[in-house]
Amino acid sequence: MSDDTQTYARTDRTTPTRYRDRAVWEREAIHAILDSAYICHLGFIADGAPVVLPTIYARVGDRLYVHGSTGSRPMRGAGADEGLAVCVTVTLVDGLVLTKAAFNHSVNYRSVVAHGTAHQVTDPEELAVAVDALVDHSVPGRSDDIRRPTAKELAATAVVRLDLDEVSAKSRTGGANDDEEDLGLPYWAGVVPVTTVHGTPEPHPSTDVPLPAYLTDLHR
């Protein structure tokens, strides 16, 4: 973090080479995007080659907790003292931007890219906080309405921590941007909004309680 705690410090790799005006480093804007997606894409290096895997995650303050697999390669790397170099990326698609020229087609989106070193969470108290955060990330309030994890289950849960430090957000909003000379062409231009919605919750046959309020709100 920079001295101004409202903004993450800018570095070479959090400064895009293109569309720099779409990038922001504001803490609040970055956190809002991180709190809105279901999954992240975790990038790391294995045998000299890049690997990108989708997984669940949660934010607690300026920390990201990313779910891994016990015994998997990235977890072993993150378990070592030096940690594991990672890039965690979160992206939401908000619209398809159709322009009269093929060249100006675009996408409305919000994304966050976080660079750093991930460490496996081994402290039992921190692990318990992280697991609650993972459960609450998609369904706020859920961690108060479940059978709590046992010590054995916690020990079998692999979570890595990445401190948010070298991080930026990038987004595009707004309508179609055609070149002046293309505006009169007889093609449809505009935006097709894209949204992620929840369907009606489908209870498991063993469920004999009414739909909890936190799922009613989610469904709205």
Instruction: Count other C-beta atoms under 10 Å from residue 165's C-beta.
Output: 16
- The answer to whether residue 188 forms part of the interface with a second copy (CB under 8 A) is yes
Instruction: Assess contact for 8 and 168: CB atoms under 8 A.
Output: yes
Token pair belonging to 147: 């059978």
- The answer to whether residue 49 forms part of the interface with a second copy (CB under 8 A) is yes
- The answer to whether residue 43 forms part of the interface with a second copy (CB under 8 A) is yes
- The answer to whether residue 60 forms part of the interface with a second copy (CB under 8 A) is no
Instruction: Assess contact for 142 and 136: CB atoms under 8 A.
Output: yes
Of 2-10, 24-32, 63-71, 119-127, the segment contacting a second copy by CB under 8 A is 63-71
User: Per CB under 8 A, which of residues 127..166 are in contact with a second copy?
Assistant: 131-132, 134-135, 138-139, 142-143, 145-150, 153, 156-157
The residue within the footprint of a second copy, chosen from 32, 36, 123, 201 (CB under 8 A), is 201
Task: Tell me the one-letter amino acid at 154.
Answer: L
- The answer to whether residue 22 forms part of the interface with a second copy (CB under 8 A) is no
Instruction: Count other C-beta atoms under 10 Å from residue 208's C-beta.
Output: 6
- The answer to whether residue 208 forms part of the interface with a second copy (CB under 8 A) is yes
Distance (Å, whole) CA 67 – CA 118: 11
- The answer to whether residue 220 forms part of the interface with a second copy (CB under 8 A) is no
